[in-house]
Amino acid sequence: MNKTIKVALAGAGAFGTKHLDSIKNIDGVEVISLVGREFEKTQEVAKKYGIAHTTTRLEDSLAIKEVDAVILCTPTQMHSEQTIACLKTGKHVQVEIPLADTLAGAKSALEIQKKSGLVAMCGHTRRFNPSHQYVNQQIKSGQFHIQQLDVQTYFFRRTNMNAMGQPRSWTDHLLWHHAAHTVDLFAYQCGSPIVKANAIQGPIHPALGIAMDMSIQLLAASGAICTLSLSFNNDGPLGTFFRYIGDTATYIARYDDLFTGKEEKIDVSQVAVSMNGIELQDREFFAAIREGREPNSSLAQVFNCYQVLHDLEQQFQK
C-alpha cells in the first residue's frame, strides 16, 4: 500500500490525543474520522487536529469507504466487540491495551482476525518503549539475561478519574489492564512463556467494585521470576517502574527512560526513530499495513497474556 493510510480514531480522551499527537509525526497517514462519547467535546478535539468527520458512533466511521484502519482508545469493556466490528467491515485495527477483559473476548477477536487476514494489533506499549527495547537488544545479543523483574504499578485513583483528572464513564481494572502490560512484557523479554502465576488482591472498593491493591508472581520457562505490585491507593510517585535484575547488570525503566541500578541515566535516543513509545507503536501498525505482515504485538502474539490473566482471575474467585 503506497497511498495515504486513512484512519478513524475512536476515543477522544486522554489516550486518544496521545495517538493523534503521535500520528502527526508519521508520514503518509491521515486521521479522517474521530469518534467520541460527547459530540461537542469530540468536535473540539477534531477541530484542533484538523479532522473533518466527527461522530459518537463507531459504525458511522466504519461505514466510510475511505477508512483503511481504525485505532480504538475506547473503554476496556468495548475493546473485543469493537475490534471484531472493525475486522468484519474490512478495516485494519489497533486496539489499545487490553484486547479484552475476558479470555472469551480475546479468543473471539483472535479467531475473527485469523479469518480476515487483516492487520490487528494490541497496544502493549512496553514492547515499544525505547527503554525496554534497549534491554531487549541486550538480551538478544546475549549480553544480558533476566533473573528477576520487579515491577511497581502505582496510581492514586480512589475515584473514577482518567489520566487527565477527568471523570470516567467506565471503571479501570488493575488485572485486565495494568497487569496486562507486565505479564506480556515479562514473557516477551524472557523469550519464553509463563509457566506459573500466583496472585492475591486486597478488599473490593464499595463504590468502584474493583480491588484497589494486587500482588502477582510469575515464573517463566527460562527460570526468571517476576514480582508485580499494583495499587490505585498510592499517594506518591505515580506510574510504572520496572527493575530488571540480571546476570550482568541491573536496569530501571520508567516508561521511555532507562537508568542503571545506581540511577545513572542510559542514553536510549538511538534505539529507535522516536523517544515516544506510543509513536513507535503507531509506526509499527502502519508499517505492518503497508508491508502486509504481522505486526509486533499482534493479537496472536499477545493472546497468551490474556490466558494468564484469566488464570489469575480464577484464583481470586476461589
315 is a domain residue: no
317 is a domain residue: no
314 is a domain residue: no
Looking up residue 154, the CATH number of its domain turns out to be 3.30.360.10
Shared domain check, 159 and 69: no
Shared domain check, 218 and 180: yes
C-alpha of 316 from chain center: 23
Shared domain check, 151 and 93: no
Give the model's pLDDT for residue 208: 86
69 is a domain residue: yes
Shared domain check, 92 and 133: no
For the chain, the domain total comes to 2
Shared domain check, 152 and 28: no
Shared domain check, 265 and 137: yes
Residue pair 110/122 in contact (Cβ under 8 Å)? The answer is: no
Q: In the 8-state DSSP scheme, what is residue 78?
A: G
Give the model's pLDDT for residue 135: 98
- The order of strands in the sheet holding 265-266 is 194-201, 213-220, 225-231, 146-154, 239-246, 250-254, 257-260, 265-266
Angle between helices 103-116 and 79-88 (to 10 degrees): 10
Shared domain check, 197 and 181: yes
CB atoms < 10 A from the CB of 318, how many? 4
Shared domain check, 293 and 261: no
Shared domain check, 241 and 143: yes
Shared domain check, 143 and 266: yes
Instruction: Write out the chain's pLDDT in tens, 318 residues.
Output: 679 999 999 999 889 999 999 999 999 999 999 999 999 999 999 999 999 999 999 999 999 999 999 999 999 999 999 999 999 999 999 999 999 999 999 999 999 999 999 999 999 999 999 999 999 999 999 999 999 999 999 998 777 666 656 676 667 889 999 999 999 999 999 999 999 999 999 999 998 888 999 999 999 999 999 999 999 999 988 889 999 999 999 999 999 999 999 999 999 999 999 999 999 999 999 999 999 999 999 999 999 999 999 999 999 987
Give the model's pLDDT for residue 245: 98
Cell 535484575 -> residue: 245
Shared domain check, 147 and 258: yes
307 is a domain residue: no
Cα separation, 213 vs 210, in Å, equals 9
CB atoms < 10 A from the CB of 159, how many? 12
Name the residue range of residue 71's domain. Answer: 5-125+277-297
309 is a domain residue: no
175 is a domain residue: yes
Looking up residue 118, the CATH number of its domain turns out to be 3.40.50.720
248 is a domain residue: yes
Q: Does pTM surpass 0.85?
A: yes
